[in-house]
Amino acid sequence: MHQKTIAELAAGLRAGDFSSEELTRHLLDRISGLDGKLNSVITLTEQQALAAARAADRRLQEGDAGPLTGIPFLHKDIFCTRGVRTSCGSRMLDNFEAPYDATVTEKLAAAGAVMLGKTNMDEFAMGSSNETSFYGPVKNPWDLERVPGGSSGGSASAVAARLAPAATGTDTGGSIRQPAALCGITGIKPTYGRVSRWGMIAFASSLDQAGPMTRTAEDAALMLAAMAGFDERDSTCIDRPVDDYSASLGSALNGLKIGLPKEYFGEGLDASVGAAVEAAIDEFRKLGAEVKGISLPNTSLAVPAYYVVAPAECSSNLSRFDGVRFGYRCENPKDLEDLYVRSRGEGFGAEVKRRIMVGTYALSAGYYDAYYLKAQQVRQLIRDDFVKAFEDVDVIMGPTSPTPAFRLGEKADDPVTMYLSDIYTIAVNLAGLPGMSIPAGFVDGLPVGLQLIGNYFDESRLLNAAHQYQQVTDWHTRVPEEFK
Amino acid sequence: MEWEAVIGLEIHAQLATRSKIFSGASTAYGAEPNTQACAVDLGLPGVLPVLNAEAVRMAAKFGLATHATVAKRSVFARKNYFYPDLPKGYQISQYELPIVLSGYIDIDVDDEGSKRIGITRAHLEEDAGKSLHEDFHGETGIDLNRAGTPLLEIVSEPDLRSAKEAVAYMKKIHALVRYLEICDGNMQEGSFRCDANISVRPRGQEAFGTRTEVKNINSFRFVERAINYEIERQIDILEGGGEIVQETRLYDADKNETRPMRSKEEANDYRYFPDPDLLPLELDDAFIEDVRASLPELPDAKRDRFMEQYGLSHYDAGVLTASRELAVYFEATVEASGGEGKLSANWVMGELSGLLNKEGKDITESPVTPDQLGGMLKRIQDGTISGKIAKQVFEAIWNGEGDADAVIEKKGLKQITDPAAIEKIINEVLDKNPRQVEQYRGGQEKLFGFFVGQVMKATQGKANPGEVNKLLKKLLNP
């Protein structure tokens, strides 16, 4: 059962081959048995899952079922879940039980999906390897000594290991796409504003977006349809109808114009990864697509601009964690300043503190113009590169990550090298465009991801292209040996 | 050395919306602590702000009423600092691009006539919660009910030159926001707060002196005292060869002095940046014109109309339009009195205000309604009672003894106007006081008042004064 995709599971449930409760129990057992190797789940919600599964089974019987009714999934621990610990991978929220549900949580529940538990992640979504979590690092199921990527490392690892057919992730600079690439699964970050951020703990408000992580584009389309939509509780959410993503999966790709940015195939890209990606693009040529070289000239400015804007916004977003109203509080504070200094000093990990300090500096008097303001202006240039490119092409493709999964600890002491893992994904968040990663091959037994970048609100086209590719390749069906 | 004071006021007016500026929680005053703070107000993880449209309307009204520019595009910015009553660790405010820019308001100061005071800007922001330092034995209680209440921060140009001008400006703004029904102006409840920026310079110098900020003064009287104290304090320091320290000070009403604030003297760098959770606020002409059309008659326009329509002086019209409620009361009285503008003005500003002040009542609490007052004025106008007797009638109405006609009837206060009856009484008085008559006719004209008094006494004040004067003259000077 755990090898089945959402689409297959949904069919099985409707046909009565098994119940949601059986499926849920199976996966809960699997998690209990196997997650010790991965550390991908922080909180397992067994009772809640079984109750939801039983309710789903009732709906299935009554014929009142949608595509996700009874389908189990794992939920990144960044989304508020009422009555359930929502830790954001941090000691700061280890004791925090959210008093309300995030919109994404509500929508998936309304669709009848069954939440199995909350997944591990880089602390406050800051990281590219899931090594900064208070709950310990997550392992890559393809090689337990390597990272799964981050910050949605727990979600990626769990889906790759078939602990659940789907998981939710969030992506601020690549945190859905990069772990999807490193773990050999499919992940999509929709256009900024497509999915509501209400209840999604904020890292960088102008960059954060939620999205599904699954094994196939078909499954991602089903999940995204349930997650997306206007929400008046989020002022940055767009009031625009959600496309029927599943309906357009089957369109042929003849005439699809694919652009390959020369900046994404240059220095820094591992040669084997490059070769795998080139081979993937050949498949698209065979499917009838036209491939041409393009240029995104300001690519090299993306990482520096991001590492000013994101920390600046997060330094402000994380000010609410002060030991006063909720979350971690130090013992026996002697006065207000002590309360703040120790609660935050003890509650936050090193990477979070690093980014808060960088962000505070970038916003400070005398530096605001040179850093924050300048970075936001550069962001406009990066956006303009894409807008111009999309005048000539429909989809932009390239590698998701410059290297396959690296070893645990390899980059942990060198933040800048770690930051460069996001070099191909970051610009997409700065521009607010939709981006996707799909499995495209292996290098020394480690997955390689192909990134697809679309124009604003063109998720249908990305999912369609990915789906067609997945009809003629089988990378997305490979399972890590230990998790078959 | 002649010194000149330079003063600017920052007024925080709580906008009278039903719910908070960025959340749906209630803004009602007086609830149990922490019962009106929702997830958004508490700054819980994952929450987001949504702008209250009514707050925007109210700010736009203020802008239009002060001849200001209502910005077509304004931006919300985060003001970052740590304090327990600021749940998110930042206040959502407006910084570089406020909603209202460059207005003015004209004030009248006793002997100076009219003066124009510039309003630099007004912007929207959220209020913080309250920190309660008493009652908690060395700790501080935090009540977040107030967190998220909409504020309009109104900043004046440093055009004020005296405490009196500052008070006049503050009163004018206070009346205006109540006229516009955007703020209840209740200073005791903290709906209307004032900070003053004060500096002095030698008269004739263009450059400003170092200024201090005096915070959270919550009455007109305290504003005047605090500013005067601070001006004196600064002059004393400078004349003694010292320098003014730029700092924030609190006014102590009991000791009538200002003191530096107790908190740490660390200059806060607020690290303002546009709030990425809110879109820029974009207003179009249609919206602005709609707001303009909804404006009530403003105080100055009403004052000018009163002057013309009722023949009132600038001063009197100003007093009557100081509050919308008073202006409404006055006009209702005029109507009830059958159009007696000046008479109504005298009575509203005189007897009525006198009694209201004495009993500490506001015009809205007046036991005498405009209909009742107007009805009484009609009786003065038609001669049923004299102006003097009317005072008795008025007090009786105030005390709930009924309307004018009922009181006049019951107490037999009708004016005596019949010349024959008055003549009779005059003759009786003259007969009783032959010596004074002789003295008067011998040249002591001052005694005329004595005779008037005696006639009034004999008639319990009910004789028509005009008739008495006329007939007394006739009978004293045959």
Closest by Cβ to B82, choosing from A79, A206, A319: A319
Is the pLDDT at B112 greater than 80? The verdict is: no
Q: Which residues of B touch A432 (CB under 8 A)?
A: none
**Inter-axis angle of helices A217-227 and A6-15, to 10 degrees?**
80
Q: In what order do the strands lie in the sheet with B192-202?
A: B69-70, B100-109, B113-126, B150-156, B3-14, B192-202, B212-217, B248-252, B257-260
Across A54-63, A269-278, B245-254, B306-315, least confident range: B245-254
Tell me whether residue A421 is one of the annotated catalytic residues: no
Q: If pLDDT is split at 50, 70 and 90, which confidence band does B475 have? A: confident
A336-346 b/e (C-beta count within 10 Å ≥ 16 → b): eeebbebbbee
Other beta carbons within 10 angstroms of residue A200's beta carbon come to 27
Domain ranges of chain B: 3-289, 297-411, 419-476
Q: Which amino acid is it at A453?
A: I
> Mapping DSSP to helix (H, G, I), strand (E, B) and coil, where does residue A174 land?
coil
B284 touches chain A (CB under 8 A): no
Tell me whether residue A76 is one of the annotated catalytic residues: yes
What phi and psi values does residue A345 have, to the nearest 5 degrees? Answer: -65, -40
Average pLDDT in chain B: 93
What is the nearest CA distance from A370 to chain B, expressed in angstroms? 13
Q: Strand runs (DSSP E) across B208-272, as ranges?
A: 212-217, 248-252, 257-260
* Token pair for A153: 């490392």
Q: If pLDDT is split at 50, 70 and 90, which confidence band does B262 have? A: low
Average pLDDT over residues A62-90: 97
Mutation site for A-interface testing, chosen from B34, B52, B277, B281 by largest number of A Cβ within 10 Å: B277
* Segment holding A336, helix H or strand E: helix A336-347
Answer whether A368's CB lies under 8 Å from B273's CB: yes
Q: Strand runs (DSSP E) across A278-366, as ranges?
A: 290-294
Question: Under an 8 A CB cutoff, do A325 and B43 touch?
Answer: yes
Q: Which residues of B touch A197 (CB under 8 A)?
A: 46, 48
Q: If pLDDT is split at 50, 70 and 90, which confidence band does A168 have? A: very high
Is the pLDDT at B418 greater than 70? The verdict is: yes
Answer whether B265's CB lies under 8 Å from B292's CB: no
Is the pLDDT at A148 greater than 80? The verdict is: yes
> Mapping DSSP to helix (H, G, I), strand (E, B) and coil, where does residue A144 land?
coil
Average pLDDT over residues B351-359: 93
What is the nearest CA distance from A141 to chain B, expressed in angstroms? 31
Tell me whether residue A151 is one of the annotated catalytic residues: yes
Q: Which residues of B touch A429 (CB under 8 A)?
A: none
**Inter-axis angle of helices B220-239 and B163-179, to 10 degrees?**
150
Q: Which residues of B touch A347 (CB under 8 A)?
A: none
> Mapping DSSP to helix (H, G, I), strand (E, B) and coil, where does residue A93 land?
helix
Question: Under an 8 A CB cutoff, do B89 and A320 touch?
Answer: yes
Q: How far is CA A428 from CA A191, A209, A295, A319, in A?
A: 9, 11, 15, 27
Answer whether A128's CB lies under 8 Å from A408's CB: no
Is the pLDDT at B42 greater than 90? The verdict is: yes
B56-92 b/e (C-beta count within 10 Å ≥ 16 → b): bbbbbbbbbbbebebbeebbbbbbbebbbbbbbbbbb
Is the pLDDT at A354 greater than 90? The verdict is: yes
* pLDDT tens string B275-333: 999 999 999 999 999 999 999 999 999 999 999 999 999 989 999 998 889 999 999 99
Query: What integer pLDDT is reported at residue B263 of this predicted model?
Result: 56
Q: Which residues of B touch A360 (CB under 8 A)?
A: 271
Q: Which residues of B touch A326 (CB under 8 A)?
A: 44-45
Length of chain B: 478
B48 touches chain A (CB under 8 A): yes
* pLDDT tens string B439-453: 888 888 888 888 899
Question: Under an 8 A CB cutoff, do A360 and B87 touch?
Answer: no
Q: How far is CA A441 from CA A174, A395, A447, B135, B210, in A?
A: 19, 20, 6, 68, 70
Other beta carbons within 10 angstroms of residue B126's beta carbon come to 26
Closest by Cβ to A320, choosing from B87, B269, B277: B87
DSSP assignment string, B143-163: EGGGTT-EEEEEEE-S-B-SH
What is the nearest CA distance from B85 to chain A, expressed in angstroms? 10
Of the options 3.30.310.80, 3.90.1300.10, 3.40.640.10, 3.90.700.10, the CATH number for the domain spanning A6-256: 3.90.1300.10
Question: Under an 8 A CB cutoff, do A234 and B44 touch?
Answer: no
* pLDDT tens string B225-235: 999 999 999 99
Is the pLDDT at B131 greater than 80? The verdict is: yes
Is the pLDDT at B264 greater than 70? The verdict is: no
Of the options 1.10.10.60, 1.10.10.410, 1.10.357.10, 3.90.1280.10, the CATH number for the domain spanning B419-476: 1.10.10.410
Q: Which residues of A touch B45 (CB under 8 A)?
A: 80, 86, 88, 93, 96, 98, 201-202, 320-321, 326
* pLDDT tens string A386-426: 999 999 999 999 999 999 999 999 988 887 778 888 889 99
Query: What integer pLDDT is reported at residue B284 of this predicted model?
Result: 96
Q: How far is CA A191 from CA A226, A311, A430, B274, in A?
A: 15, 21, 11, 21
Answer whether A157's CB lies under 8 Å from A140's CB: yes
Which B residues 62-91 touch A at CB under 8 Å? Answer: 78, 80, 82, 84, 87-90
Closest CA to A78 of A68, A65, A92, A67: A92
Q: Hey, CA dihedral for B15, B21, B24, B30, is it positive or negative? A: negative
Average pLDDT over residues B138-162: 96
Q: Strand runs (DSSP E) across A122-270, as ranges?
A: 166-171, 186-189, 209-214, 257-261
The tally of CA atoms less than 13 A away on the side-chain side of residue B284 is 1
Closest CA to A43 of A173, A130, A134: A134
Greatest pairwise CA separation for chain A in angstroms: 70
**Inter-axis angle of helices A153-160 and A20-38, to 10 degrees?**
120
Chain A residues contacting B via beta carbons under 8 Å:
79-80, 86, 88, 93, 96, 98-100, 102, 197-202, 204-206, 232-236, 312-313, 316, 318-322, 324-326, 336, 340, 360, 363-365, 368, 372
Is the pLDDT at B137 greater than 90? The verdict is: no
B47 touches chain A (CB under 8 A): yes
Q: What is the pTM of this model?
A: 0.91
Is the pLDDT at A174 greater than 70? The verdict is: yes
What is the nearest CA distance from A59 to chain B, expressed in angstroms? 31
* pLDDT tens string B91-111: 999 999 999 999 999 998 877
In the block, residue with structure tokens 């997955």: A447
Angle at B201 (CA atoms; ends B198, B205), nearest 5 degrees: 135
Average pLDDT in chain A: 97
* pLDDT tens string B380-399: 998 888 888 899 999 999 99
Q: How many helices (H) and strands (E) does chain A have?
A: 15, 11
Is the pLDDT at B217 greater than 90? The verdict is: no
Answer whether B110's CB lies under 8 Å from B287's CB: no
Q: If pLDDT is split at 50, 70 and 90, which confidence band does B268 have? A: confident
What is the nearest CA distance from A312 to chain B, expressed in angstroms? 9
* pLDDT tens string A2-22: 999 999 999 999 999 999 999
ipTM above 0.85, yes or no: yes
Q: How far is CA B144 from CA A105, B130, B147, B183, in A?
A: 28, 6, 5, 20
Chain B, nearest residue to A362 by Cα = B271
Average pLDDT over residues B57-77: 98
Mutation site for B-interface testing, chosen from A85, A90, A233 by largest number of B Cβ within 10 Å: A233
The C-alpha atoms of residue A365 and residue A374 are separated, in whole angstroms, by 14
> Which is the catalytic residue, given A151, A155, A246, A460?
A151
The C-alpha atoms of residue A92 and residue A344 are separated, in whole angstroms, by 8
Which B residues 117-156 touch A at CB under 8 Å? Answer: 142
Query: What integer pLDDT is reported at residue B267 of this predicted model?
Result: 66
Which B residues 258-277 touch A at CB under 8 Å? Answer: 269, 271-273, 276-277
Query: What integer pLDDT is reported at residue A206 of this predicted model?
Result: 98
Query: What integer pLDDT is reported at residue A289 of this predicted model?
Result: 97
Percent of chain B's residues with pLDDT above 90 = 73
Domain ranges of chain A: 6-256
Is the pLDDT at A385 greater than 70? The verdict is: yes
Average pLDDT over residues B454-474: 88
Q: Which residues of A touch B278 (CB under 8 A)?
A: 235-236
Query: What integer pLDDT is reported at residue B416 of this predicted model?
Result: 85
The C-alpha atoms of residue A332 and residue B321 are separated, in whole angstroms, by 58
- Which residues on neighbouring strands pair with residue B107, listed in sequence order? B115
Q: How far is CA A178 from CA A130, A187, A296, A422, in A?
A: 11, 9, 20, 7
The C-alpha atoms of residue B326 and residue B180 are separated, in whole angstroms, by 14
Percent of chain A's residues with pLDDT above 90 = 96
